[in-house]
């Protein structure tokens, strides 16, 4: 997988697949609703330690529920 950043009034990232499996994975990745999480400290994901970075992955039900409750709280304040 090739990774490239674009900086032009904003920051974008391009993931370019290099084989058929990566093509299939990116297609599936685009079909799901994703969330971006900043990793600010050391975390272990699948037995591998990551010291900072960004995790892009499927939104969890809990996060969706929290977002909905925040919207409801905001509506009640208005």
Residues 21 and 53 in one domain: no
Q: Taking 50 as the threshold, does the pLDDT of residue 78 lie above it?
A: no
The total number of structural domains in the chain stands at 2
Residues 42 and 76 in one domain: yes
- Average pLDDT of 41-45? 88
| Cα–Cα nearest to 50, from 60, 58, 61, 38 | 38
Residues 49 and 78 in one domain: yes
- Structure confidence at residue 26 as a pLDDT band (50, 70, 90): very high
Per the prediction, the chain carries an average pLDDT of 84
pLDDT at 69: 54
pTM: 0.65
| Six token digits for residue 13 | 């990232």
Strands 48-58 and 34-45: antiparallel
State which residues form the domain around 27. Answer: 1-31
Q: What is the dihedral of CA 47, 40, 3, 10, to 10 degrees?
A: 160
Residues 26 and 57 in one domain: no
What are the residues whose beta carbons fall under 8 Å from the beta carbon of 59, sequence distance 6 or more? 32, 33, 34, 35
Higher pLDDT, 45 or 69: 45
Residues 49 and 61 in one domain: yes
Rg (the chain; Cα; Å): 17
């Amino acid at each position: 997988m090739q990774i490239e950043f674009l900086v032009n009034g904003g920051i974008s990232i391009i993931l370019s697949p290099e084989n058929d499996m990566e093509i299939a994975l990116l297609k599936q990745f685009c079909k799901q609703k994703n969330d971006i999480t900043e990793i600010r400290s050391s975390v272990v994901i699948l037995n591998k330690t990551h010291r900072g970075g960004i995790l892009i992955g499927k939104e969890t039900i809990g996060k969706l529920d929290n977002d909905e409750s925040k919207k409801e709280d905001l509506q009640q304040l208005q």
